[in-house]
Amino acid sequence: MLKKLLVANRGEIAVRIIRAAQDLGIATVAVYSAADAGSLHVQLADEAVNIGPPAAKKSYLNIEAILKAARDTGCDSVHPGYGFLAENAAFSDAVTGAGLVFVGPSGDAIRMMGDKVSARSAAAAAGVPVVPGSAGRVESLGAGRKVLTETGFPVMIKAAAGGGGRGIRIANSLAEFEQAFPQAEAEALAAFGDGGLYMEKVIGKARHIEVQVLADGSDAIHCYERECSLQRRRQKVWEEAPSRALSDELREALCASAVALAKAVKYSGAGTVEYLYDDEADRFYFIEMNTRIQVEHPVTEAITGIDLVAEMLRVAGGERLRIRQGDVSVKGHAIEVRLNAEDPAKEFAPFPGQVAELRIPGGPGVRFDSMLYQGYQVPPFYDSLLAKLIVHAETREAAIMRLIRALNELKIGGLKTTKPLFLALAADPAVRTGDVHTRWLEGWLIENAAALAG
């Protein structure tokens, strides 16, 4: 078992990981930037180390500073969380190279699955259907034109290193494509340090469905699926499990393909295989694998009763997977909404500031994962995620009622947040019936702009 863990992250996920470690009796070390000295993860960890100035490049992305903090405090392991260095193969290698345990897959597994182009190839090789598109990276505009015969229009130009909904462009015509391609290349290089692009056919009215896997390097299991079709700018805002769109046969097939893929790359730790599901054609396509814990992992924890972060820590500590596939079963329905410090009335502009008042929802079936406390100053430097509200109930209908109840209990004074968006969505007939797709929310936001402004 691990003895002392450095948590190389901030915000709600750092708090989540510290809690899991403490539940297992593992000592914890937080790292923080100068902007985060007063933050909850620093307060909850056994020790905390300042790793640099506010800019992420100088602190949370600073591999040398993080490794030094781990050495200075006598840690034996590092958990990367999500975002920042979580899918950085060089970081995984550097941690391992320093004689520490990386709580996640090997650098090689990250290189294979974290790069979205090589992940497509690995999926295809494992017999998992991928979206029609380029075979590898598209190295030039000319090569891209050839791929168009495969995809038609509209086509997606995607960054091989993209993530968090960024690095994706859609072209509806050859003229748009020829204009967008070099722009996408320049943007990808600037944003991800890698200008590599690939192309995919646009799957029209698709649902986003993803399968949670847990693996120990030789064995792998799945913990069923989540549906994350409610997205804004290709970023998930509301996630739930199970998906209402899947038949038992399709669920079986999706979960089996995710496990096959995890086994094929000798995956270790927690990971998520993401798919698009076209319910009209009844076809699913692999889009990417996230080689880390995901923001929305709590909905799976709610319906399966499995502590995914604790299982990551056990596997990283050298244990074999304790959970057999036959032990994983689904109970009820869970929904998570992402409460961001953003103003829904002003096109979701970031809204940093001080939490003047805080009332946290509770009661049966309610979980609130957050770094908030009364008086907390939300810094302007990072992701705007403040909290995740997760509700669990016997049925989807009951979960939505519970979500409304918990949102009404929740009070975050002094800040604008995405709470009004979720109250409006929870009341919407299409959301109530689950009749949505990944671009549904975009249209809804245009139609309901007035309601959110008021």
For the record, the structure tokens of 52 come out as: 């640099």
> Which residues inside 57-86 make contact with ligand ADP, applying CB under 6 A?
82-83
Each residue 182-201 as x (binds ligand ADP by CB under 6 A) or -, in order, gives ----------x-------x-
311 binds, among Mg ion, ligand ADP, none (CB under 5 to 8 A by kind): none
Residue 382 per-residue DSSP state: S
**Angular region, 84: left φ>0, alpha ψ -120 to 50, beta rest:** left
Q: Which is nearer to ligand ADP, 27 or 40 (CB)?
A: 40
d(CA 255, CA 267): 15
d(CA 386, CA 338): 8
Among 378, 228, 372, smallest CA distance to 297 is for 228
Q: Which is nearer to Mg ion, 225 or 274 (CB)?
A: 274
User: Per rule CB under 6 A, is residue 234 in the interface with ligand ADP?
Assistant: yes
Query: What is the number of other CB atoms lying within 10 angstroms of the CB of residue 56?
Result: 19
The residue whose two tokens read 């009364």 is 374
**What is the smallest separation between the CB atom of 233 and ligand ADP, expressed in angstroms?**
9
Q: Which is nearer to ligand ADP, 27 or 389 (CB)?
A: 389
**What is the smallest separation between the CB atom of 3 and ligand ADP, expressed in angstroms?**
28
> What pairs with residue 211 in β-bridges?
225, 273
Q: Which residue is nearest to ligand ADP (CB)?
A: 163
Active-site entry in 10, 207, 292, 367: 292
**What is the smallest separation between the CB atom of 260 and ligand ADP, expressed in angstroms?**
19
Q: What does the buried/exposed string (b/e) look like for 76-96 if buried means 16 or more CB atoms within 10 Å of the residue's CB?
A: bbbbbbbbbbbbbbebbbbbe
Say whether 292 is catalytic. yes
User: Per rule CB under 6 A, is residue 205 in the interface with ligand ADP?
Assistant: no
d(CA 123, CA 312): 23
> Which residues inside 259-278 make contact with Mg ion, applying CB under 5 A?
274
Which residue of 295, 316, 341, 393 would you call a contact of ligand ADP, by CB under 6 A? 295
> Which residues inside 142-171 make contact with ligand ADP, applying CB under 6 A?
156, 161-165, 168
- Torsion, CA 397, CA 399, CA 404, CA 410, rounded to 10: 180
Phi, psi (deg, nearest 5) at residue 231: -130, 150
The residue whose two tokens read 């009070």 is 411
User: Per rule CB under 6 A, is residue 288 in the interface with ligand ADP?
Assistant: yes
| Catalytically annotated residues | 292
Binding residues for Mg ion, rule: CB under 5 A, are 274
Enumerate binding residues for ligand ADP (CB under 6 A). 82-83, 131, 156, 161-165, 168, 192, 200, 202-203, 206, 208, 231, 234-236, 274, 276, 287-288, 290, 294-296, 383, 438
